[in-house]
Structure 1
Amino acid sequence: MTNRKSSLVWLITGSSTGFGRALAEAALAQDDHVIVTARDISKIQDLEHQYPQTAKVVRLDVTDQATIQSAVQIGLAAFNRIDVLVNNAGYGLMGAVEEVSDEQIRNQLETNFFGLLNVTRAIIPTFKKQATGHILNLSSAGGRVTLPMLGLYHASKFAVEGLSETLAQELKPFGIKVTIIEPGGFETDFVNRSMVTAVQMPEYAPFREQMAAFSLEHPQGHVPTGVQAILKVVELPDPPLHLAIGPSALPMIIQKLSSDIEEYQRFEDIWQDSTANASEASKQSNLAQKV
């Protein structure tokens, strides 16, 4: 229960398990209204039975434009407005860039990037009409930091980051907020349920061992704690563009950004030298023309 005068209306994609399910349950528990969506609605039907007045279960496949438009319209018909969009649907693809198939690459980007893009584009007109709305895009610490064997997953999340940063600039004049949620590892079944693995080539075995060791070395976040952080950010009048959650996310991101800055600065003289040489060459050329 919150101290708000009115409840919020959420639309959450990928609500059958993991963060999507936990967030839907938490929002409903605090008397908000939720358009609960998944490809298989049999896995979320119980939420509508438990909260018949405030939960609306709708089938939504982020790779199917027709179901996206239908879910938005059904949600608006049920609750008259949508205040928060949570683009949560997505999965991982494990494999070296050489190992993953063309079909796996396209499917990864179709769900993690184009699916998110299509749902967002479908709801922007509603948010503009309302002159308010908050888009929460579930990226990952892997949208800022890379590891071997996750190249295409990283590519999809880096794309989400770039898209979201631009959206934040374009939509701010309309009263629409954008926050990129960047979870580190959490205690979910993501690795088992939501991870596709490419056919393995033996020469990449050392990287698979490295990834296994990485998972053991880094602590996992508690899902309810992560959900509470997301609920809090929605309440902020001026929410952040980036929100790292989980015990390992922010340290990894800070280390990566610091390393990037150090490298840029270490080699900035290459550009400065090139600029100086070009300037000198231009002066000599102009002098020769005058002579």
Structure 2
Amino acid sequence: MTEPRVWFITGATRGLGRAVAEAALATGDRVIGAARDIGPLAELAGRYPDNLVSLPLDVADRPAVGQAVDRAAATFGRLDVVVNNAGGLLLGMLEETTEEQIRRHFDVNFFGAVWVTQAVIPHLRAQGSGRLLQVTSMGSGGGVASVGPYAAGKAALDALSQSVAMELEPFGIRVTIVQPGGYDTGLYTVGTTATTPDPAYEPLRQKLAELWGDDAGPAPGTAAPVIMALVGLPDPPLRLIVGSRSYDLVQQMEQARVAEYRSWEQLSRQAPG
């Protein structure tokens, strides 16, 4: 019989984090679900009293992250899968964004993941195994108007995680950058901080609203089977796009990027470096 895996999931109360927690528990795995407000996990804990531990945690608080990870590792004796999922959305044009808003946004979306990653590495290295899933975004390869800080934070985590993957592979730890598309995770509602709108950007806002439409996207539970399949792979990818439509969109963005490089190749090659 295969030993149940132990998951540590941040942002476990909603969206992809909650969906993955439910999927892992359904297979008999054990889950430490972390979030600032663990109240929404009460019902799930009632269904899985022996396999789910709820842990209050603000990932922006580095000392608290270290304590929480140590506690999580001690709870079931190991950590097999770490999912850096906690995050939020700062919605607004850069000119409208306050220093406090953008710093808080990076504290959660980027530095929060960094603190968790730093804290789990010693535990994973000591046991000589582990999976680290860094949840970024299908848009981490480029920005879109009004969500620039969000895209920047995800891009930073993407780049850092690629470096970390190289650092940790010799220890039997595999890193995958999970790039989900537009799922109905609550990111654009309860997970959103909005700037004070400047009327100068109203035409652009209207254009973006028409472009995005009202479709909130599929339920995050539809993505959970992909994550479960991913952690079962003996040789997982460094990056994985989650979502059929998202896959197509990312390919289009990558092709457009390459096309632009090639169209300016002559100018690029005028420099010897």
Q: TM-score, normalised by structure 2?
A: 0.95
Q: Against the structure 1 CA distance between its residues 89 and 95, is the aligned structure 2 distance closer, same or farther, given a 3 Å change threshold?
A: same
Deviations 1:111-137 (A, max 9, x none): 000000000100000010011111101
**Is 2:91 aligned against 1:94?**
yes
Q: Which amino acid aligns with 1:245?
A: V
User: Which ranges of structure 1 fall in alignment gaps of 5 or more residues?
Assistant: 279-291
Structure 1 counterpart of 2:145: 148
Q: Which moved more, 1:263-272 or 1:160-169?
A: 263-272
Q: Against the structure 1 CA distance between its residues 63 and 239, is the aligned structure 2 distance closer, same or farther, given a 3 Å change threshold?
A: same
Q: How does 1:81-120 map to 2 (within 5 A)?
A: 81-120=78-117
| Aligned pair partner of 2:52 in 51, 55, 58 | 55
Structure 2 counterpart of 1:169: 166
Q: Which amino acid aligns with 2:175?
A: V
Q: Which amino acid aligns with 2:239?
A: H
Secondary structure, in 3 states, of the residue corresponding to 2:12?
A: coil
- Aligned equivalents of 2:215 and 2:143: distance in 1? 15
- Aligned equivalents of 1:76 and 1:142: distance in 2? 32
Secondary structure, in 3 states, of the residue corresponding to 1:248?
A: helix
**Is 2:204 aligned against 1:193?**
no
**Is 2:211 aligned against 1:210?**
no
| Aligned pair partner of 1:135 in 111, 132, 135 | 132
Q: Is the 8 A contact 1:10 1:83 kept in 2?
A: yes
Q: Against the structure 1 CA distance between its residues 273 and 69, is the aligned structure 2 distance closer, same or farther, given a 3 Å change threshold?
A: closer
Q: How does 1:6-17 map to 2 (within 5 A)?
A: 6-17=3-14
CA RMSD of aligned residues (A): 1.7
Q: How does 1:54-73 map to 2 (within 5 A)?
A: 54-73=51-70
Secondary structure, in 3 states, of the residue corresponding to 1:243?
A: strand
**Is 2:220 aligned against 1:223?**
yes
Structure 1 counterpart of 2:232: 235
- Aligned equivalents of 1:213 and 1:103: distance in 2? 30
Q: Which amino acid aligns with 1:143?
A: S
- Aligned equivalents of 1:250 and 1:100: distance in 2? 30
- TM superposition shift of 1:219: 7.7
**Is 2:236 aligned against 1:265?**
no
Q: Which amino acid aligns with 2:188?
A: V
Larger of the two Rg values belongs to structure = 1
Identity %: 38
- TM superposition shift of 1:175: 0.7
Q: Which amino acid aligns with 1:23?
A: V
- Aligned equivalents of 1:132 and 1:47: distance in 2? 28
- TM superposition shift of 1:33: 0.4
- Aligned equivalents of 2:216 and 2:72: distance in 1? 37
- TM superposition shift of 1:217: 7.8
**Is 2:98 aligned against 1:79?**
no
Q: Against the structure 1 CA distance between its residues 19 and 195, is the aligned structure 2 distance closer, same or farther, given a 3 Å change threshold?
A: same
Secondary structure, in 3 states, of the residue corresponding to 2:266?
A: helix
User: By percentage of residues, which structure has more helix?
Assistant: 1
Runs of 4 or more consecutive aligned structure 1 residues displaced over 6 Å after TM superposition:
none
- TM superposition shift of 1:138: 0.9
Deviations 1:254-283 (A, max 9, x none): 1111111111122121233344xx9xxxxx
**Is 2:161 aligned against 1:178?**
no
| Aligned pair partner of 2:41 in 13, 19, 44 | 44
- Aligned equivalents of 1:210 and 1:188: distance in 2? 23
Structure showing greater relative contact order (alpha-carbon pairs closer than 8 Å, 6 or more residues apart)? 2
- Aligned equivalents of 2:238 and 2:207: distance in 1? 32
- Aligned equivalents of 2:69 and 2:202: distance in 1? 44
User: Which ranges of structure 2 fall in alignment gaps of 5 or more residues?
Assistant: none
Deviations 1:218-268 (A, max 9, x none): 782332221111111000011111111124321221111111111112212
